[in-house]
Amino acid sequence: MLKRWLCVLVLLAGCAAEYPKTGPRTIVWHIEDPVTIQYLWDQMNPENPIFIDGFANWGGEYCHIWTPELTEETLYIFLHELRHCVDGHFHDD
């Protein structure tokens, strides 16, 4: 199981988001199928063509999180992207 989560970490390496350092933030959570999530990533990030399971980005006053349907296995993806909405680009890459 740990190996799987480490793979998720690597796969999510490109999901950085610019974010406000302070103040309230509104999260918009988009639940989509994996193919749609990958398509949206590719459209929004043509300079970074990587495989992803989910991503977060800021649009106006909203932080948008894109994940597949929530299950025990995909909960980590949501929490990872939520952290991007709070801490911006928090992982090393």
Helix-strand-coil split of the chain, %, nearest 5: 35, 20, 45
Is 52 a residue that touches Zn ion (CB under 5 A)?
no
Is 12 a residue that touches Zn ion (CB under 5 A)?
yes
What are the residues facing 57 on neighbouring strands?
64
**Which segments within the chain are labelled E, that is strand?**
26-31, 55-59, 62-67
Residue closer to Zn ion by CB (options 32, 76) is 76
Is 15 a residue that touches Zn ion (CB under 5 A)?
yes
* Beta-carbon count within 10 A of 13 CB: 14
User: Stretches 11-19, 45-53, 58-66, 67-75: which one binds Zn ion (CB under 5 A)?
Assistant: 11-19
Q: How far is the CB of 12 from Zn ion (least distance, A)?
A: 4
Binding footprint of Zn ion on the chain (CB under 5 A): 12, 15
